[in-house]
Chain A
């Protein structure tokens, strides 16, 4: 199990939390996804054999949130 943190652009609407967490939690291999709204970060616990960090990053961008760094 690995943990990774993605830094996003400033999050403004709390409804983004549900959006990002919802999308990530549906993904295979993701154990737990948590959006740190106030520091605009996403913390993901995942199984690196089932899903890669690149895939996770792409997924977050696909829901509409550019990833600045991980």
Chain B
């Protein structure tokens, strides 16, 4: 039976009930009244009876079956008002629940509605509009102002400003140029783009987000699992209890009422609605939280470990100064850039970029390229061996550093640079200093994390100690571990974990994937487009923005708080109702009404989370009040203790 049909049935039942009410008020005819009530019962009960029947055909137990039995019981003993009210309320409750549940899930839905539908492609010189899902890899897609980008791809011509809020949650448009990456689901607010499709259909970042959130919403919180276990004992327990009630009181009606009212509707739904609303809120703001358990862990965090490069710093290191010994500076930079030409290392890339910026021509190709992990690289250039890297590598390759060179390097490092030594077979030819700017928001974020309950902050980096300490001090990080190889990071994370510590690791998700996987909660930041990072991390921050970290933390706390309120409400209502039933203060119809209302209250409470924003006026007010109360209670205790002291004196 479709929802629309059920709604029609519900409206007709409502009309019948109104008719019955009028008959009753005007004291017409009891037979008419009862007939109306019985017809209303049958009409409103029809969908419920059908569902109960279908389920029992499949040998499945259902709440509908319970209601059906209760209604039949009520009809037999002539309680027509009750039977009509119960069937109607059951239907109406489901209707309201559906409506409001949809609202609590609206975040994901509104995200899904942002999915692109059409694409403008150029194939063999012919432009045509096709369905977005029919675009294939390597198609040339044309996007004009106001259009939605239908695929993930690279711009080959044109430029424009793109609103990527569906992906990153940031509504400020980003300007995009040739060779920049664009994402499906984002909107070109101004400009013109020709894009080569790289990921289409279900492989796009946008589709991955939807898929991830859908799965995440099913990921159960510990509280939820506890509730389910509880429900598994609860349901048969209640059945046994109602049987007992029947045996003791010999009252079938009371036993049935007890059975129906005790159904754990609000209880079962209380935890998941909050989690779903919370996850949805996050997804809309570019924060993907993978399930209820992660949400709970987030809310309990008290330590955060950061990877420095790309997380606390911008991750775009640039050459600051070049110092050469015995050769020209340009010659040194040329050689270094030639050696690093194909390097994937961010320091190497910075060197190549600097050479290009200075218009240096890179002619010689390096041979025998040897990457020394955590040290640098060694190549053969023009028949001579060339090493670029840190002290560790110099030492291992038996290259001498004289005192003057070393003191220069230390000075550079002390002012926050990474010193890259360039050396031939036996001596250092020069030092290229590279620095990576600290993000403007880093210090503020650390401060806010601390006020949100994060007691320990740690920074890990492969950089030298000087640089690391300078950055750490600048932004207020408590502990700094420097000179780490990638595998050391995992060990450091392990060392930081322990009793009473809930630790999150924040990184870019690619270089530090193992450390992210080790932590209690792994957080990958700024990873739109990198699938691996999206898969390994527990929390994915799509935007490259530290603010989201604070938002995430506050959202998780609000969600868990909401979940607890709901559980309290649900358990409280059931307990009250059952007492009411046993003391005969609550009958089936009114009990059903209160029960449905409690389910609604639980859902409505969760809907608040959909609109949640950290630090609303209300929250600040609560915080102030709490602080005020603490001050008052402290002053009272101080006063009373001084009073006691005086008395003693």
Contact = CB atoms under 8 A, between A and B. Distances in A.
Partners in one complex: yes
19 contacts: A10-B102, A12-B98, A13-B63, A14-B268, A15-B63, A19-B62, A23-B58, A23-B60, A36-B214, A38-B105, A38-B217, A38-B272, A38-B276, A63-B54, A63-B60, A64-B50, A64-B55, A66-B1, A66-B3
Given A12-B98, A22-B58, A64-B51, A38 B218 contact: yes
B214 A39 contact: yes
A34 B98 CA distance: 20
Nearest to B267: A14
Given A12-B98, A15-B63, A38-B276, A63 B2 contact: no
Interface string B39-75: 0000000000011001100101011000000000000
B218 A22 contact: no
B265 interface: yes
A17 B303 CA distance: 37
A32 interface: no
Contact of A13 (B102, B105, B108, B265): B265
A41 B214 CA distance: 9
Interface residues of B, number: 27
A62 interface: yes
B182 interface: no
B272 A14 contact: yes
Nearest to A14: B268
B481 to A, nearest CB: 40
Contacts of B508: none
A12 B214 contact: no
Interface string A1-20: 00000000110111100110
B97 interface: yes
Interface in A21-35: 22-23, 26, 34
A15 B62 contact: yes
Interface of B: 1-3, 50-51, 54-55, 58, 60, 62-63, 94, 97-98, 101-102, 105, 108, 214-215, 217-218, 265, 268-269, 272, 276
A36 B63 contact: no
Contacts of A37: 218, 272
Contact of A12 (B62, B94, B108): B94
A66 B98 CA distance: 15
A19 B64 CA distance: 12
B60 A18 contact: yes
A36 B2 CA distance: 19
A66 B108 CA distance: 22
B69 to A, nearest CB: 16
Given A13-B94, A64-B54, 20 more contacts: A9-B3, A10-B98, A12-B94, A12-B101, A13-B265, A14-B269, A14-B272, A15-B268, A18-B60, A34-B218, A36-B214, A36-B215, A38-B217, A38-B218, A39-B108, A39-B217, A63-B54, A63-B55, A63-B58, A66-B3
A56 B108 CA distance: 26
A15 B64 CA distance: 10
A64 B64 CA distance: 12
Q: Which 8 A-B pairs have the closest CB atoms?
A: A38-B217, A12-B97, A64-B54, A38-B276, A39-B214, A10-B98, A14-B268, A64-B51
Contact of A66 (B2, B58, B268): B2
A15 B217 CA distance: 17
Contact of A36 (B98, B217, B268, B269): B217
Contacts of A19: 55, 58, 60, 62
Contacts of A66: 1-3
A19 to B, nearest CB: 5
Most interface-central of A38, A41, A63 (chain B CB within 10 A): A38
